Structure 1
Amino acid sequence: IPRHPSNGGEHVTTTDNPVSPHLPLEIFDNEDYDCWTPEDWLALGKEEGSIDLKPVPAKALLPIDDDIASVDPNRSSLGYSWHLVGVLDYSKEICQYLVQKVHQNSKLTDEEGNPALNKKHRKRVNTMIAGAKFWVPRIRLIFSAEDPRVFVERIQFALHLRENAEALSFYHSCVDCMPFCRGTPTIDTHTLRLIKTRALSTPVLRLRSLERCVEDVEKLVIHEYERTMNRLVLDKVVESQPEKFSHITVPLKDVPTQGK
């Protein structure tokens, strides 16, 4: 089947799931695992002496239901599975590949390819039927010509990065939701005045313009100090009761190396 540019009026489905509990995996994809550029992959569909571009064989992680628009958007997830596809195009704007599902269909024919009527002279022929089209990110697409072991490492790398990012996001959300309790140390007036004096002592600064921002900066300094105090409290509680707060991961602290 020759590959043609997608028609603007043709319905093409995207595979984004807006109600997914996880961050999109493609955000954490490492393109260094890709041995070829998108143009190189699509060039595999070229045949010598032909102007048509054929679909590049691959497998893609796609919704089981082709018509996902009919699925209730309030559902927590859609059913996904790996499908045989033909890669048709690539969009630099959204960094995704246009793929088309391929369904295998087998039928009995005679030696000339006509429907077999004689049981003695018939053979089974597998044909490909084109299905729905989808835009998919590279992390959900494995070309038949690439090393599957490298692709597995690519997915594992992205999953590990996403797990760390989600853990950090949840940790900082916990800190931001903590109230600032009485009795917690606050930044003293002398220290705050010293910070302001040193910040405004730079000769090249325009003091008239900065005076309007001093109050806002002072509020930010106080807020960041209080937030740091809450982080210390949270870290201590989590580390003292790891079983109770196993869902919270305390970030590793950067320990400065001692100079020689």
Structure 2
Amino acid sequence: MPRHQDPDNMPTIEQRRDPLFPIYLPLQIFDNEEYDCRTPNEWLLLGVEPGSQDRKPIPGKALLPTDDILGHEDPKSHDLIYQWTRVGVLDYDKKTKLYLVHKTDERGMVRDADWMPILNGGMTPQGRASLLPCQYWVPRVHLLFFAEDPHVFAQRVVSANNLRKKTQALLLYNLYVDCMPVDGLQSIDERSLAKMKQLAIVTSNLRKECRVLNCLNALEKEVSLDYERTMNKISFDRVVTSKPQTFSYVTLPEKEEEKVPERGM
């Protein structure tokens, strides 16, 4: 779970702690919905018995904080402990793609404050009441239905976590390259840049457009900056590759193999 960063207790590179940098990206944005065997509506229909108009909670487990008060006030607190808890799934929000879950009691029952069964997600003709302390809106990757294969769900969580690690590592890598100074670097050849400009306005109509000519200076600066960044990237990759133990916290992007076309260029 992402936590608040403590600027007074940040790990140093020399400590070689794992992870060196705190997790700040939520896991649900990397969730692959292809792992799901049912749609959200189909999951909710499991709580409807034949001949009944009421929808009961669907049993499952959710990753929830043990302290319900602090869990609602500050879910990123370092004092919170998260664990997989038995819940009843009440409802689903299509806009946020979150499930409403309710912690079960010691008997495994889902009851409201008046000890009455919660039906139809807690919706009444007057609407839904305010959330109880034991109720949470959770993403699908934090919710395991008892009616699904737990091995497939574990693969789903591992896949999302690996993709999050890779994305965060690439974000840090690009940040390192962007922060490298460009003063003193070899600039792009003026003849090459002039040829690019000539090819860009080769159409006669474009040469007459004042707006295009005014944008050329901005485009020229962008091309020069991209060239200098590429030079920094090459130098950075060479240094990291030559000293892998020193820069063990840096993840280089994977090189994509160029596909040779079957015909033509």
Tell me the distance in 2 between the aligned counterparts of 1:74 and 1:89: 24
Structure with greater strand percent: 1
2:188 aligned partner, one-letter code: I
Q: Give CA-to-partner distance per residue, 1:43-85, whole Å, 9 cap, x none.
A: 0010122211100001000111111267567844631111111
Relative to the length of structure 2, the TM-score reads 0.77
| Cα distance change on mapping 1:212 and 1:226 into 2, 3 Å | same
Query: For each residue in 1:85-133, what CA deviation from the matched residue of structure 2 results, as whole angstroms up to 9, or x when unmatched?
Result: 111111011011011111214xxxxxxxxxxxxxxxxxxxx76555611
Runs of 4+ in 1 over 3 A off after TM superposition: 15-20, 69-77, 126-131, 202-206, 257-260
Task: Give the C-alpha shift of residue 255 in structure 1.
Answer: 3.5
| Structure 2 residue 18 is matched with structure 1 residue 33 | no
How many pairs were matched up? 225
Aligned to 1:185: 186
2:99 aligned residue: 97
Shift of 1:173: 0.5
Q: Is the 1:200–1:207 contact (alpha carbons within 8 Å) kept by the matching residues of 2?
A: no
**2:36 and 2:204 mapped to 1: Cα distance?**
51
**Which of 57, 60, 66 is the matching residue for 1:58?**
60
Q: Which of the pair is proportionally richer in helix? A: 2
In structure 2, the gaps of 5 or more residues are 6-21, 113-132
Q: In the alignment, which residue of structure 2 is the partner of 1:194?
A: 195
What's 1:252 paired with?
A: 254
Higher Cα radius of gyration: 1
Pick one of 141, 158, 162 that aligns with 1:156.
158
**1:85 match:** 87
Q: Distance in 2 between matches of 1:241 and 1:16?
A: 31
When residues 26 and 230 of structure 1 are mapped into structure 2, their CA distance, relative to the original with a 3 A threshold, is same
Which residue of structure 1 lines up, in the alignment, with residue 142 of structure 2?
A: 140
* CA root-mean-square deviation: 2.4
Q: Percent identity?
A: 44
Q: Is the 8 A contact 1:25 1:162 kept in 2?
A: yes
Distance in 1 (CA, whole Å) between partners of 2:74 and 2:34 is 37
Letter in 1 for 2:139: P
* Structure 1 match to 2:119: none
Could you tell me how far apart the structure 2 residues matched to 1:219 and 1:204 are?
23
